[in-house]
Amino acid sequence: MLLLGVFFRLVYLDGKVFWVDEAFTALRVSGYTETEVVQAWAEEPLTTVAALQRYQFPLGDRPLSGTIGGLAASEPQLPPLYFVLTRWWVQLWGDSIAVMRSLGAIASLATLPLLALLCRELFPTRVTAYLAVCLMAVSPFQVIYAQEARPYSLWTLLTVAASWALLRALRRRRWGDWVVYGLMLTLALYTFVYTVFVMLAHAAYGLWERRSAPLSPPILRPILVSQAAAIVAFLPWLGAIARNWQQGLQLASWQRQPLPQRFLALPLAWMTHISRTFLDFDPTFGYDLSRLFPYLLAVLAILVGVIYSLYRLWKTAPPSASRFILLLLVIPALGVIVPDLLTGGQQSTVSRYFVPCWVALGLAIAHTLASWLPQRLAAISLAGLLTLGVLSCGTSAAALSWWNKEGGYIPYVAYPINQTANPLIISTSDWWLFSLAHTLRPETALQIITQLDQVPAIPAGYSHYFLYSAPPILRDALQQQGFQLTPFDQLDQVPLLCLTPPGTPPQPCPPTPN
């Protein structure tokens, strides 16, 4: 399972579409801001794919402060640690999609030995640690986010590291161990702000343990002191969040948008999140019960197993271990779910916000399997879970896109463009252009229109013209200039059209992929 886990995390690192969130990671790493990019497009609307690359990789013309400042001003909800590490990583190993994604893959692999150490702090037997590592090694959720240029694998690593550091500090009672715990929390906070829910779970664990053993040495006080130190260290970024609060709210506005039939859609999403930790064969799941049906029996079996594992954990695990795992599962989950229930939002439909919960869930199931191991049902359950994980990872490994990445249409846009000798792509200042640019030849020309009320004349001399992701006002303006718009066969859902210049006989669109 370890070898397969390494293989699935490192194979085809550049195979899937580099979607818009990853393109924004690359923009932050380059040190440029959205304002500078739009200004450059306004000054030089005719550009090339190669010119766009300066905004996707660090070229040495922007200092590290550009990365940190761009995040603070434009995306304050994203702390800078992952982006700074990625910038250094790309500068060291080269500017490619595979290199940019490889940092997350390495962080995901580093989580496995730390998970074993966490299990050894929680449970008396090594078997539980072996099983937990095997399950995480081939977990479809862990693998797909290990191959994404976003901070979630690093957050997983630091969540496990902080939890292990806490339990070790409580066992050894040394001040140096509390320093390590505070440092892990600080790094986790600088990776993802939802670490605050992990801190609440740890504090609740200390309080519960103190009440269960009132005569034991102080437990809650050192936890709170270490957490306070981490918060003090995080104050500079809290200041950036406070200064740019409205910008952060605007970028996260989708989380507050109402979800149709949310009292059905939300539980279905949560159920799907849980099942994807072990089973994932659907690249485009859309929270539709009819689409869930092919996997319904397997999903329900996994949910029943999860519920029983939590019951078994509470009944048979060491009390301190069961308390720790249940709090790490429940408190971060409530931190994401409760705002949706109160405000009607939809952030809990995104499984990456539940990272601590999936760590806790894996620990609970590993304990149940370890305590069952002499029984035939345990062996069958373990074999089934590992088989589902391996098959799921194998299914998604060579896919061009998956459910965690929007923009699965990008390869279908790039294919006909790359079949032409000298194309020109006309588009608005759409950030998906960066995602598309990673699939095109460097010399491909782009005409980027930033003001729809002032559409410039389109230059002549190109072999083919394409219109990408254009609003109706731009289509009308081009038709007024004499261009003919032709849709592609069998690509009705793809935002790409062929253009025929005025006075030119119509020609067929380039071939599309099968």
**pLDDT of 294 strictly over 70:** no
DSSP 165-180: HHHHHHHH--HHHHHH
CA 122 vs. chain centroid, Å, equals 28
Query: Whole-angstrom Cα distance, residue 117 to residue 6?
Result: 19
The DSSP code for 498 is E
Q: What is the mean pLDDT of the chain?
A: 90
What are φ and ψ of residue 489, in 5° steps?
-70, 135
Residues 32-53 pLDDT 10s: 999 999 999 999 999 999 999 8
The count of C-alpha atoms lying within 13 angstroms of the C-alpha of 488, restricted to the half-sphere facing its C-beta, is: 25
Burial environment of residue 508 by CB neighbours within 10 A (0 to 12, 13 to 18, 19 or more): exposed
Q: What's the rounded mean pLDDT across residues 391-405?
A: 91
Q: What Å distances lie between residue 250 and 194, 242, 253, 406, CA to CA?
A: 18, 14, 5, 20
Mean pLDDT throughout 61-84? 93
Does residue 148 register a pLDDT over 90? yes
412 vs 17, 57, 415, 508, CA distance in Å?
Answer: 11, 25, 5, 17
**CB under 8 A, 24+ apart: contacts of 301-308:** 302/274, 302/275, 302/278, 303/271, 303/274, 303/275, 305/365, 305/368, 305/381, 306/274, 306/361, 306/364, 306/365, 308/368
**Residue ranges per domain, the chain?**
2-397, 410-500
pTM summary value: 0.94
Q: What does the DSSP 8-state code read for residue 149?
A: S
Provide the pLDDT for residue 243.
92
* Lowest-pLDDT choice from 65-79, 104-118, 215-229: 215-229
Q: What is the torsional sign of CA 422, 426, 431, 436?
A: negative
Q: In what order do the strands lie in the sheet with 423-428?
A: 46-48, 445-449, 423-428, 464-468, 496-500, 484-487
Residue 98, pLDDT score:
95
pLDDT of residue 293: 59
The pLDDT value given to residue 423: 94
pLDDT one-digit tens code per residue, 486-511? 888 777 778 899 999 888 877 778 88
Can you give the pLDDT at residue 287? 46
Q: How far apart are CA 335 and CA 240, in angstroms?
A: 22
Assign residue 281 a region (left: φ > 0; alpha: ψ between -120 and 50; beta: otherwise).
alpha
Q: What percent of the chain has pLDDT over 90?
A: 64
Which helix (DSSP H) or strand (DSSP E) does residue 467 occupy? strand 464-468
Q: Per mean pLDDT, which of 27-41, 221-235, 294-308, 408-422 is the most reliable?
A: 221-235
Apex 478 CA angle, 477 and 484, nearest 5: 140
For position 257, what pLDDT does the model report?
Answer: 84
Q: What percent of the chain has pLDDT over 70?
A: 96
How far is 121 from 193, CA to CA, in rounded Å? 26
Closest CA to 83 of 105, 64, 106: 64
- Look up residue 269 and give its two tokens: 């999403």
Give CA–CA dist 214/220, Å, rounded.
11
| pLDDT above 50: residue 136 | yes
Tokens of 318: 């060491």
**pLDDT tens digits, residue range 104-128?**
999 999 999 999 999 999 998 899 9
Please state the rounded mean pLDDT for residues 468-474.
Answer: 89
Average pLDDT over residues 205-230: 87
Q: Is the pLDDT of residue 514 over 70?
A: no
pLDDT tens, position by position, 349-376: 999 999 999 999 999 999 999 987 667 8
Average confidence (pLDDT) over 431-448? 93
The listed range with the strongest mean pLDDT (24-38, 320-334, 482-496) is: 320-334
**Which has the minimum average pLDDT: 199-208, 215-224, 298-307?**
215-224
From residue 141, give the alpha-carbon distance in Å to each of 113, 155, 156, 347, 404.
18, 14, 11, 17, 9
- Give the mean pLDDT of 379-384: 91
Least confident of 267-271, 317-321, 425-429, 509-513: 509-513
Q: Reduced to 3 states, what is the DSSP secondary structure of residue 496?
A: strand
Interval 336-349: pLDDT, tens: 999 999 888 899 99
